[in-house]
Structure 1
Amino acid sequence: MKTQTNYKTQSAVQAAKSMAAWSGKLLAGISLAAGMVFLNSCRDVLDLKPLNAYSESDVWTDPNLAQVFVNGIYDQTVLAYKDGGFGWGAQTDELYGNFNWTNENSYVQGEATPDNQTSSSLNRWGDLYSSVRNCNVFLKNVSQLDTASNGQAVRNMRGEVHFLRALAYFELLKRFGGVPLITKVYDVNDKAFSEKRATWTETKEFILADIEQATKLLPATYSADLDKGRATTGAALALKSRLLLYAASPYFNTSGDKTLWQQAKAAAKAVIDFKEVSYALYGNAGNGTYNKTYLDFFNPEVIFARVYSGLVKADRYNTVSRDLSPNGYEGYSAYNVIQQMVDAFEMADGTPFSWTNPVHAKNPYANRDPRFYATILANNQPFKGRSTQFFEGGDDSPQSPYSPWNASKTRYVMRKMVDESVDWQKQDYAASQWVGFRLSEIYLNYMEACAALGEDGEALTYLNKLRSQKAGMPPVNASGTALMDKIRQERRIELCFEGHRYFDIRRWGIAETGSKDALGVIITKQTDGTFTYQSAVVQKRVWQQALYFYPIPRTELQRNPALTQNPNYN
């Protein structure tokens, strides 16, 4: 796991108090990557004074130092699958975690409690509140910065911080529901900490207010290459689209309020129609360019992303190609695609795949949706100069002579986001892009809202546009409930492994459907070169109603007497 700075490993309360004492240590914990803009533009300043010698007054009178502080908040940012998000998939019908890197097994096997929320888990309560705290520190002190000569830079930073705080609170909201809305910067001498949880709706409205501020303050684009990856107007609008889609969804919108769906529709359309940046779908599985969506940095589909260079190792942030690849290629098979996800991909003609169809069962990986081949690495598929061998005794199997302990237990691994050009036998890290928001998601948000409002024609237009441009798949013709089912299916395929499925099935109120036993397949190679397939249970799973939300760590409840636990946890 990534080595974490002091304040990231502390509880929310401890982080809030200890960070108040950073006067001479403010910049010491900011990563090299986060400070690159500063290091390149302010070398003269750095030559005069070491980073750990700056005082609080130095920072809030120098926009360059203030920008480094903001960069540090980016480094803290929890962003979907970048921060263990494959672990979200391993708690659904997408993936099995081979090494339990994010403590996902405790959730799927009915063992999650408020007492076993480890620092490696996806809970992240303390990390997220640490990010909130740093945003609050900035907003408290930003008025000290000189805006006469640095007005635009300060304006941009204010927008960035409002966006980053909104993003942190959204990550809290989707994990825990309503949470304490803290805007105060707690002092190291503050002894009392008693903050009640806001409701789900109150938390949503707070996030919206930050998003509105960010939208007003942020630029649409940045001119300097080094500023790519910073928050923009489009990023704020995309976050608003995601938030309002959640708010309109059945689990939270129990009355079926159409107004909420109208708001979700309008928010998505605002991104689609955003004229200052020409966002466009990019990469088509039908012509073999699908993974360019993730591998081509800041391509036209990307609205917000975090990029890690290949200059230094950043743990799993830039070792993803090695981590996901099969053991026979000296990879780790870290996340195994489960059979339920494999079977979800349609045939190339748009019909469902079925093991009861003898043609499908004989050759289950033939003639599938082109995204199947760009997303999943199955048996006998071309990869890095040879065909994969997940069959029993093959080079990529548990009986392989090549690191069999790293073999996939389901006999499938992820191909999505893997850069085959990386030679991880020589160097196991390379530049990588983690996409937080992209246009395909916004299309899916929009068509879901349209379908919920009965606007089937508009929903179909965007559904078929996405299928055509991202996969070369035939058009769909459906209406009503059948159309909504198709949209949910499309979302499952297009956004798989990107940290969406876990939260989608919860906001739809069908979380238990994603918690069935994880299946794989045993593949046997026959003497004539053909293969036979036998289903196998890889992991027994237990569903608990409590798992609609994460438990608040027990330590937080003990430190904050006003805090209440989520339902169905002791």
Structure 2
Amino acid sequence: MKMNKKLIILLAVTFLMMGCKDLITPQIENNRQLEQSYNPNDARFPYGLILNGYDRIPTSSWSFDDVATDDAVSNDKSNAYLKVATGQWTSNFNPLDRWTGCFAAIQYMNLMLEQVDKVTWTQDSAVANLFAMRVKGEAYGLRALFYYYLLKAHAGVGENGDVLGVPIILHSQAVGDNFNLPRASFKDCIKQIYSDIDSAEQLLPLDYQDISDNSQIPSKYGSITIEEYNRALGKAMSGLFSGRVAMAIKAKSALLAASPAFSAAGASSWADAANDAAAIIDLNGGVNGLAANGLTWYTNASEIAGLADGQNPPEILWRTNYGESNNLESDNFPPTLNGKGRLDPTQNLVDAFPMSNGYPISNTTSGYSASDPYANRDPRLSTFILFNGGEAGVNNSVINTAVDGSTNDALNKTETSTRTGYYLRKLLRQDVNLSSTSTTTQRHYKPLIRYTEIYLIYAEAANEAWGPLGTGGHSYSAYDVIKAIRQRAGIGLNNGDAYLESIKGDKDAMRTLIRNERRLELCFEGFRFWDLRRWQAPLTETAKGVSITNNNNYSYINVENRVYQNYMQYGPIPYSETLKFNALIQNKGW
């Protein structure tokens, strides 16, 4: 947490589409004194404080911490999450750590909030005031975001049973300050997140859009012109932290606080989380606003090709910038497509996909056949996971994962072969070619928040607060949301989703279904590990795979044991921090 007052600001930040040329052109000399921030002719350096925040968002790149769960394994024996899952997770080996990066970002946000009113953002006083309001709003919002990630990773229960958060630091720290700070309660941390979110919403526009009429200018910005508004808060700023993003972070925080792992703190209720999510869903057109092509956001080629100026497809609330690459495909395509097959989905996850009629495969009326296990399944299975006989790549190559297969795609054939009988398909552009003679790239981006996540937050929280059919005063229920999500996936189209109808009055059965839908819809996007822990669900389910011989003999195999202790429902405070600062109480068990 300790930062010197002389800051090394790296302004060559490529994160997000920040179109305001007044603010972000990098300086040649980046080693500068903080007092130089007040130069009326150069506002680019102080905005670098904000850029440092964006650059530290921990989910701005793919981590694939699914490998630490029952959803995936890796054939890379050095994978850090493999080590976490197999018993090597300690307070001084924690690949899931958020402490250093998030507190560094908070330091920058605190500095920005202290300096923002001293900066002459531009010579036009009206526009300068709008810039200052926006920058304050960004700083408050990003600070809330980083506290949310700190709570996910490091909140927990101390030896005395108190639900603890992290130190709350609302000013920049300098040499001579007291760094030996105690952890605040989890409840107080959530209150601080809400306070920062409220401040962000008061300052930021809902979305960054160019306006064409004075009536579109919110009253909080005073008497300004259309041109002044568009210069500071218009479309060119798309991709920055907005009022809509602030609403989403509040909903995510409320869900975390209401979940079983943290509910004893009394920081938020299920109704709070449902209401916060509903506020966003209403802005998105209600249940009917669920994007029809949201399942395949990563491969909607024409939609992705049309991305510009930070604008979002209908499924995406907030995202990173796009870039041309083939890194995901190189890491995860099967060997015969010149990939490394790094992330292998498990049989556990495959079994979680229902039949196309909506019934779980364990249900006796589902029609599941153990001798033809991929027939008549949820269409999401073949969309997200590459199984034996599936097609992949630009030439729709048939992939054989059977143990007696003749290619390197076969089970455990080489170090880049699948360990489970499955390869990843989700997130990958099948129009990427990794051939050494005709290698191609395609445009990719990473969602920071998808609307489907918000709908699932509502479904989970509304079911807990009001039951499957209760609405809490809204125009839709948990049942309505889950029905729409399953219909979009192609579930139960021929039978009216009879299974969903059979459980719509059963809160416990609906909870199980909602959690499973969340598992499927958000698989490989970095949710499963954190969800299991906030639900206080078992982390120790053995990762399984399938061994196929003669193309039709299926036997299920244990691939990798999951070695977790009960106290690992909460992550540790970094060991190095507890050594330096005796005021920091470690979570119980670590």
Q: What range is the shorter-chain TM-score in? A: 0.7 to 0.9
Give the match's secondary structure for 1:219.
coil
Q: 1:122 to 1:54 in 2, by over 3 A?
A: same
Aligned to 2:344: 336
C-alpha spacing 1:358/1:281, structure 2 compared with 1 (3 Å): closer
Per-residue deviation, residues 162-185 of structure 1 (Å, max 9, x unmatched):
121111111110111111111221
Q: Does 299-308 or 214-223 show the bigger shift?
A: 214-223
Asked whether the 8 Å contact 1:463–1:487 carries over to 2, the reply is yes
1:518 deviation in Å? 0.9
Q: Please tell me whether the aligned partners of residues 20 and 237 of structure 2 are also in contact (alpha carbons under 8 angstroms).
A: no
Matched with 2:63 is: 85
1:413 aligned residue:
423
Aligned match of 1:186: 173
2-side partners of 1:38 and 1:193: how far apart? 37
CA separation in 2, counterparts of 1:481 and 1:539? 30
Residue in 1 that maps onto 2:46 = 66
Q: Which residue of 2 aligns with 1:204?
A: 190
CA shift in 2, pair 1:304/1:399, >3 Å: closer
Q: Does 1:267 align with 2:276?
A: yes
Question: Match of 1:171?
Answer: 149
Residue aligning to 1:309: 323
Cα offset for 1:395?
2.8
| Counterpart for residue 21 of structure 1 | 6
Aligned to 2:541: 516
Whole-Å Cα distance in 2 between the matches of residues 545 and 446 of structure 1?
A: 28
CA distance in 2, matches of 1:383, 1:96: 20
Cα offset, 1:66, TM superposition: 3.0
Q: 1:153 aligns with which of 131, 138, 148?
A: 131
Residue number among 389, 399, 402 corresponding to 1:388 in the alignment: 399
1:395-410 paired onto structure 2 within 5 Å: 395-397=407-409, 404-410=414-420
Q: Which range moved further: 464-473 or 445-454?
A: 464-473
Name the SS of the counterpart of 2:584 in structure 1. coil
1:17: how far off? 2.1
Deviation at 1:423, TM superposition (A): 2.6
Residues 117-151 of structure 1 deviation map (CA, whole Å, 9 limit, x = unaligned): 3xxx1213211111111111111211112362322
Q: Secondary structure at the match of 1:194?
A: coil
Is the counterpart of residue 448 in structure 1 residue 470 in structure 2?
no
What code does the residue aligned with 2:187 have?
Answer: T
Distance 2:48 2:286 in 1: 27
Q: What residue number does 2:14 align with?
A: 33
* CA distance in structure 1 between the partners assigned to 2:272 and 2:479 by the alignment: 19
- In structure 1, the partner of 2:328 is 320
Is 1:99 the counterpart of 2:76 in the alignment?
A: yes
Percent identical among aligned pairs is 27
- Structure 1 residue 467 corresponds to structure 2 residue 486: yes
Structure 1 distance, partners of 2:363, 2:459, is 30
SS in 2 for 1:104: helix
What secondary structure, in the 3-state scheme, does the structure 2 residue paired with 1:362 have? coil
Structure 2 counterpart of 1:123, from 77, 97, 107: 97
| Counterpart secondary structure, 2:320 | strand
Q: 1:501 to 1:221 in 2, by over 3 A?
A: same
1:415-474 deviations in whole A, cap 9, x for unaligned? Answer: 111111223445576432111211111111112222112342222111111211244544
Work out whether residues 84 and 102 of structure 1, in 8 Å CA contact, stay in contact via their aligned partners in 2: no
Counterpart amino acid of residue 272 in structure 1: I
Whether 1:240 aligns to 2:250 is yes
Structure 1 window deviating more from structure 2 (103-112 vs 121-130): it is 103-112
The alignment partner of 1:533 has SS state of: strand
**Distance change >3 Å, CA 180–CA 290, structure 1 → 2:** closer
What is the Cα deviation at residue 114 of structure 1? 1.7
Structure 2 CA distance for aligned equivalents of residues 262 and 196 of structure 1:
31
SS at match of 2:263: coil
Aligned partners of 1:294, 1:555: CA distance in 2, in Å? 48
Runs of at least 5 residues in structure 1 that lack an aligned partner in the other structure: 1-12
Match of 2:28 among 50, 70, 73: 50
Aligned twin of 2:560: 539
Question: 1:8 corresponds to which residue?
Answer: none
Shift of 1:115: 2.5
Matches within 5 A, 1:423-434: 423-425=433-435, 430-434=442-446
Pair 1:136-2:148 in alignment: no
8 Å contact from structure 2 (residues 187, 267) kept in 1: no
Q: Would you say 1:556 and 2:583 are equivalent positions?
A: no
Q: Is the 8 A contact 2:317 2:450 kept in 1?
A: yes
* Structure 1 match to 2:314: 300
Contact 2:400 2:410 in 1 (8 A): no
1:30 Cα deviation after fit: 3.6
Give, in angstroms, the shift of residue 240 of structure 1.
0.9
Secondary structure of the 1:503 match is helix
Structure 1 residues 214 and 191: CA distance shift in structure 2, 3 A: closer
Per the alignment, do residues 535 and 60 of structure 1 end up closer, same or farther by CA in structure 2, a change over 3 Å counting? farther
Superposition map of 1:469-508 within 5 A: 469-474=488-493, 475=497, 476-477=500-501, 478=503, 479=505, 480-508=507-535
Look up the equivalent residue of 2:334 and give its one-letter code.
P
Counterpart-to-counterpart distance in 1, 2:302 and 2:88:
34
Distance 1:41 1:500, change over 3 A: same
State the one-letter code of the partner of 1:345: F
SS in 2 for 1:436: strand
- C-alpha displacement at 1:57, in angstroms? 3.5
**Greater mean alpha carbon deviation, residues 174-183 or residues 153-162:** 153-162
- 1:371 equivalent in structure 2: 380
User: 2:254·2:268 contact (CA, 8 Å) conserved in 1?
Assistant: no
Q: Secondary structure at the match of 1:96?
A: strand
Please say if 1:76 is aligned against 2:76.
no
Q: Is the 8 A contact 2:578 2:584 kept in 1?
A: yes
Q: Letter of the aligned partner of 1:114 in structure 2?
A: S
Matching residue's letter, 2:316? V
RMSD over equivalenced CA pairs, Å: 3.1
Partners of 1:417 and 1:252 in 2: CA distance: 32
The CA distance in 2 between the partners of 1:355 and 1:481, in whole Å, is 17
Distance 2:248 2:479 in 1: 21
Give the residue type in structure 2 aligned to 1:221: D
Query: For residues 240 and 248 of structure 1, what CA distance do their matches in structure 2 show?
Result: 12
Q: Distance in 2 between matches of 1:215 and 1:278?
A: 24
SS at match of 2:200: helix
Is the CA contact 1:294–1:433 (under 8 Å) kept in the aligned structure 2?
A: no
What SS does the aligned partner of 1:150 have? helix
Look up the equivalent residue of 1:342 and give its one-letter code: V
Q: Equivalents in 2 of 1:156, 1:470: separation in Å? A: 39
| Aligned counterpart in structure 1 of residue 207 of structure 2, from 221, 225, 229 | 221
Distance 1:173 1:289, change over 3 A: closer
Corresponding residue SS for 2:466: coil
Contact 2:137–2:204 (8 Å) recurs in 1: yes
Contact 1:133–1:185 (Cα < 8 Å) also in 2? yes
Q: What CA deviation, in whole Å up to 9, does each residue of 1:2-38 have, x standing for no partner?
A: xxxxxxxxxxx3xx324x222xx42xx3444149747
* CA deviation after TM superposition for structure 1 residue 291, in Å: 4.5
Shift, 1:227, TM fit: 3.3
Q: Deviations over 1:180-238 (max 9, x none)?
A: 11122121x32642110011111111111111111222222224665332212111111
CA distance, structure 2, for counterparts of residue 382 and residue 323 of structure 1: 18
> Is 147-156 or 537-546 further displaced after alignment?
147-156
Q: CA deviation at 1:373?
A: 1.3
Which whole-Å CA distance do the structure 1 matches of 2:264 and 2:302 have between them? 36
Q: Structure 1 residues 400, 107: closer, same or farther in 2, change over 3 A?
A: closer
